[in-house]
Amino acid sequence: MVIRLFFLFLLLFFSCQIQAIDPYKVLGVDKNASQRDIQKAFHKLSLQYHPDKNKKKGAQEKFAEINNAYEILSDEEKRKNYDLYGDEKGNQGFNGGNFGNEGHTYYTTGGPGGSYFTTNPSGWQSMGGQGNSRTFSFSFGGNPGAGGNPFSFGFGDMFSDLFGGGMKGGYQHDGFSSSSGPSSQFTSSGSIQDVNLQIFNKQIKDRGLTWLLLFYTPSAKGYNVLESIVEDVAGSLLGAVKAGKVDCSKQTLCKNLGVSLSKLARLFVYSYTSEKGSLVEYSDDYDPRSLKYFCLDQLPRFSKRIELNQFDFSSDRSENHPQVLLLSTKKDTPVMWRVISGLYRKHFLFYNAEVHDVSHLMLKRLGIKKLPAVIGRLVNGEIHVLKSGITVKDLKSGIEDLGTLLENFEKENKKATFKQAKKPFQNEQGGNVPVLTALNMDNLCGDNVALCIIGVFRSASARDKLQTILSEVSRKTLVRWQSQDSISYSLLDCNKQSSFLNALDGNSSMDKFLVAYKPRKGKFAVFTGEVTLEAVEKFVSSVLSGDIQFSKVRRKPVIR
């Protein structure tokens, strides 16, 4: 009887010791600490004492204490009960007759290879490790729904220079200024979207935005930890990176993408090293800062870095996309501009240059007095200052503002293209005969145009000669023919658009020649003689007077 009472006393004593551990002291926070403070403390300590990284004596026990403390303080109800009664269950006195084991969570080990976690709300349990190990359960990430994200973090001045310029009188980035400090920008939590095959194909695949994707099964080791880290990283990169998770136990998407899981969850970034998106696996340490830098490194790089003194907008005019140039003091392409270049890569040609002095000749000529600035060039050659002295509130709003700026400029480009199709095209003193592209095809050679005169070239010298001749002919036909507004003049790069000529059945191996095309009737005629001003004038006059025989096209030509 005495022996039984002695063991009962020992059991009560150790149970009391377990319960007596103050969770506030374990995490090193005071009783008025916010959930944010508790989360930060837990994150820091759990990384410090994690058994996989800390092999010192007592680290495992400390790790268990940390998780117990966080489980109590991250749950509002448990924390309230503890503050009132000294017990998270709300039992007054010494656990209401319980011995302090129910619902507690611990990590123990049964020797090499025998460390593991389990759930057992009824208390002590032998889990069959090596020897007679005693194992307790615990939730590695706490209760995600109750206490928020245990891995929240701030990156200080990581984005204190969004576009360059440094700090001037508060939080200012060479024109991009904010009334709030860097730490306040990224406190928003990045929600993680459940992703299936349909969502991937519709919202992610080749859409231009970078995604951080967590592939897992509910039983995968480390899943809760990775989910918390992904949420924080996505929140800190809000607007630049979106987060998603794929349950490989339910989704065929994992198999389709070639992602296999064993016992571990895996992280991938869906990024753009080319026009097409692809998955790049993250294999570094699972800490938010490392993952964040990895995501930044994977952002699109479609903007061409140029030297301003050597830059000429017209050098890429054969592409015939509107062009945009960012001028900032940053040594590298800014994050916002990289994100924008991915989203709008099929609509614009992107450039960026480092510049510190607004007295630069190009800036003075354009009237730019403040940096950063965005300059755009329409397909008709007009150059516009889209915005200068730009200010942004944060990463997300900055990306949205730049997107709106480009979308408005694209509308202006479409208007300019349409107007260009309705008037005679001039030489270098007043504009250029445009090169046919997918963007201007409808306006220049669509069904609304009665006749298209197309100068086909294979070399730069042939293009320049056709440019000069067609500019002159277009002015003369305006005087001679009242129906000029239904005639367009354009150029075609045969090296890139051979399918257009194949559709007409008018292909030629010559360096330069002319095609007269009637879109409404689906007919064409070809001039393959020597291309001179007089010969082209005669050909166009014969076409307009009906003296040229036209042939039927094989199929409707399109620009690719």
**pLDDT of 232-254, one tens digit each?**
899 999 999 999 999 998 888 99
- Classify residue 560: in a domain, yes or no: no
Q: Average pLDDT, stretch 260-281?
A: 90
4-8, 55-59, 503-507: which has the highest mean pLDDT? 55-59
**Coil, strand or helix at 116:** strand
What is the C-alpha to C-alpha distance for residues 161 and 165, in angstroms, rounded to an integer? Answer: 7
3-class DSSP state of 524: strand
The reply to whether 308 and 380 lie within a common domain is yes
Q: Does the residue 277 lie in any domain?
A: yes
Judge if 227 and 291 occupy the same domain: yes
H helices of 50-94, in order, are: 59-73, 76-85
Q: Decide which of 263, 283, 298 is a domain's last residue.
A: 298
pLDDT tier at 197 (50, 70, 90 boundaries)?
very high
- Determine the pLDDT at residue 89: 59
Quote the domain boundaries for residue 113.
2-147
Span 384-407, pLDDT tens digits: 999 999 988 889 999 999 999 999
Q: What is the pLDDT of residues 83-112, one digit of tens each?
A: 876 766 555 433 333 323 333 333 333 333
With respect to residue 166, please indicate whether it lies within any of the assigned structural domains. Answer: no
Q: Does residue 480 sit in the same domain as residue 377? A: no
Is 284 inside a domain boundary? Answer: yes
β pairing state of 304-305 and 266-271: unpaired
- Give the model's pLDDT for residue 88: 61
Q: Say whether both 293 and 310 belong to one domain.
A: no
Average pLDDT, the chain: 74
Same domain, 222 and 286: yes
pLDDT in tens, 343-356: 999 999 999 999 99
For residue 37, give both structure tokens: 């403070």
Do 550 and 518 contact (CB within 8 A), yes or no?
yes
DSSP classification of residue 265: -
- Same domain? For 460 and 524 the reply is yes
E-strand ranges in 79-186 read: 172-173, 176-177
Residues 394 and 458 in one domain: no
User: Residue 177: its pLDDT value, please?
Assistant: 33
Select from 258, 277, 298 the last residue of a domain. Answer: 298
pLDDT for 320: 65
Domain identity same for 263 and 235: yes
pLDDT in tens, 441-500: 877 888 878 899 999 998 988 998 999 999 888 776 544 444 444 688 999 988 888 888
Same domain for 120 and 34: yes
Cα separation, 108 vs 114, in Å, equals: 9
| Residue 327 confidence (pLDDT) | 94
Please report the pLDDT score of residue 240 as a whole number. Answer: 93
Quote the number of domains for the chain: 4
> Is pLDDT at 440 greater than 70 in this prediction?
yes
Residue 170, in any domain of the structure: no
Instruction: Indicate if 132 and 199 belong to the same structural domain.
Output: no
Among 386, 421, 456, which residue terminates a domain?
Answer: 421
Q: Which of 39-43, 50-54, 192-196, 289-293 has the lowest mean pLDDT?
A: 50-54
Nearest Cα neighbor of 449 from 487, 423, 504, 492 is 487
**What is the predicted pLDDT for the residue at 83?**
80
pLDDT band per the 50, 70, 90 thresholds, residue 138: very low
